[in-house]
Structures are given as structure tokens and as C-alpha cells.
């Protein structure tokens, strides 16, 4: 088979998915054309379709991979640190680092993608998956705040739901800022402001002041 007619099925699937993920992350579902996907992966349209199905199936697979890594990272950051305030602040700063990483498309795959939701040309399965994923971060924050309350690190009368919603909304805003080209330093300032609303309670540590490091494995979609 010639290069013009497409590669044989001997290409690296993970590499192709990684490259496609970067395109969808940068452009969203509607903005990513098949020509851009074939250029990024180095595959012809027939090879791309044969390997992954249509554009919808490819997007959903890229999103699945992104979410698997993202959920694992978020869970690790929130659960491993015993002090709730440090856990949440470290999590927020790690997200700022990823959102503004110059080696990545900028922002968040899910936040960037939800701009397509409700559009007439977006498949229902993609719309549904994006809407479901968009609430995941807030839920993980909520679970961490509930744990903090059980461990007497937050006032017993505090409603953790609104605080989780606030923090998740801040993260969404940071993703939009990063997509628009704002530097990490600007996002760090937003984290500072968000953490200023942390309720006075029994947190066992001082606020985090150093810039969070992000595991290398999280630096790809």
C-alpha cells in the first residue's frame, strides 16, 4: 500500500490517539476537521476510520483516555494529602499548572469541549458525555470536603456543596483564562483569591505557598 493510499494497520494506536486528543483538546469536536485529524495522526481517512470508527467514536475514545488520566490525577491530589486545605489548594495549583502548560493545547479538554454542547451539529452521545464529565471535578471536590468535615477540619455547620461548586467554578474560569492565553502566574493569583474564602476551622497546616508540581504522566491528554 502506498503512502498516498494510507498506512497499513501497523501504526501505534496510542500515539495516534494521543495526537488526535491534542487536536480535539485545542479545537473541540466541531472545530476539529478530518483533515486536521489526519494531518496530526499521519493517517489517511480510510485508515483512521478503519482503526477508530467515525469522528464521533474517535472523539469519545480520546475523551475516555483523557478522563481516565484526569480522574486518577485529581483523586490522587485530593486524597493523598491528609490536610484538607493543603489538599484542595495543591489540587487547584496543579490544575493551574496543567491548564497553562505551554506544551499542552491550553485550558481543559472538557471545558473547551462543552462550548460545543447544545449545538445542532454535535452528536447526542458527545453532548451527553461532555455534560456528564463536566460535573466530575465538582463531585470529587465535594467528596473531599465531606471527608474534611467528618475529620473535623471544617466547621460542622458548613454546607460543603456550595463550597465545592465555587471551587469547581473557579477551575472552569481558570481553564477559560488559560485557553485565552493567560499565564500560569495569573491563574495562581486566582487560586490565591479562591483559597481566601476557605472557612476558618481546624485545618492542621498553613496555606500552601509553593507552586505545585504535577506528575509527568499527567502532562498528556
Residue 164 lies in a domain: yes
Per the structure, the complete domain to which residue 49 belongs is given by 13-218
Strand ranges (E), the chain: none
Q: What is the pLDDT of residue 210?
A: 47
Residue 60 lies in a domain: yes
Grid cell, residue 217, equals 504522566
Q: What is the pLDDT of residue 166?
A: 98
What CATH number corresponds to the domain at position 151?
Answer: 1.10.357.10
pLDDT digits (tens, 9 = 90+) for 89-123: 999 999 999 999 999 999 999 999 998 787 667 89
Residue 6 lies in a domain: no
How many angstroms separate the most distant Cα atoms in the chain? 69
Please report which confidence band the pLDDT of residue 60 belongs to, taking 50, 70 and 90 as the band edges. Answer: very high
Q: What is the pLDDT of residue 118?
A: 72
Number of domains in the chain: 1
Residue 17's contacts (CB-CB under 8 Å, 6 or more residues apart) are 52, 61, 62, 65
Distance CA 153, CA 155 (A): 7
Higher-confidence residue of 63 and 200: namely 63
Distance CA 95, CA 89 (A): 10
Residue 2 lies in a domain: no
Residue 99 lies in a domain: yes
Is residue 220 within 8 Å of residue 69, measured between CB atoms? Answer: yes
Residue 71 CB burial class (10 angstroms; 0-12, 13-18, ≥19): middle
Q: List the helix and strand counts (H, then E) for the chain.
A: 10, 0
pTM of the model: 0.85
Residue 4 lies in a domain: no
Residue 199 lies in a domain: yes
Residue 122 Cα distances to 130, 182, 185, 211, angstroms: 11, 28, 35, 38
Residue 1 lies in a domain: no
Distance CA 121, CA 116 (A): 9
Q: What is the pLDDT of residue 169?
A: 97
Amino acid at each position: 500500500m502506498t503512502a498516498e493510499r494510507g498506512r497499513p494497520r501497523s501504526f501505534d494506536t496510542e500515539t495516534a490517539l494521543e495526537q488526535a486528543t491534542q487536536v480535539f483538546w485545542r479545537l473541540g469536536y466541531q472545530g476539529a476537521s478530518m483533515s486536521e485529524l489526519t494531518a496530526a495522526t499521519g493517517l489517511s481517512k480510510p485508515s483512521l476510520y478503519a482503526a477508530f470508527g467515525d469522528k464521533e467514536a474517535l472523539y469519545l475514545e480520546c475523551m475516555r483516555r483523557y478522563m481516565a488520566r484526569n480522574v486518577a490525577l485529581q483523586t490522587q491530589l485530593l486524597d493523598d494529602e491528609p490536610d484538607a486545605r493543603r489538599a484542595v489548594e495543591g489540587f487547584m495549583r496543579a490544575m493551574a499548572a496543567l491548564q497553562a502548560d505551554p506544551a499542552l493545547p491550553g485550558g481543559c479538554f472538557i471545558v473547551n469541549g462543552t462550548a460545543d454542547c447544545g449545538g445542532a451539529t454535535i452528536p447526542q452521545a458527545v453532548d451527553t458525555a461532555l455534560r456528564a464529565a463536566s460535573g466530575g471535578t465538582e463531585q470529587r471536590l465535594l467528596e473531599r470536603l465531606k471527608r474534611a468535615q467528618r475529620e473535623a477540619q471544617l466547621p460542622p455547620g458548613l454546607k460543603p456543596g456550595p463550597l465545592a461548586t465555587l471551587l469547581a467554578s473557579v477551575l472552569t474560569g481558570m481553564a477559560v483564562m488559560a485557553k485565552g492565553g493567560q499565564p500560569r502566574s495569573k491563574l495562581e493569583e486566582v487560586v490565591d483569591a479562591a483559597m481566601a474564602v476557605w472557612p476558618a476551622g481546624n485545618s492542621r497546616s498553613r496555606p500552601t505557598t509553593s507552586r505545585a508540581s504535577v506528575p509527568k504522566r499527567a502532562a498528556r491528554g
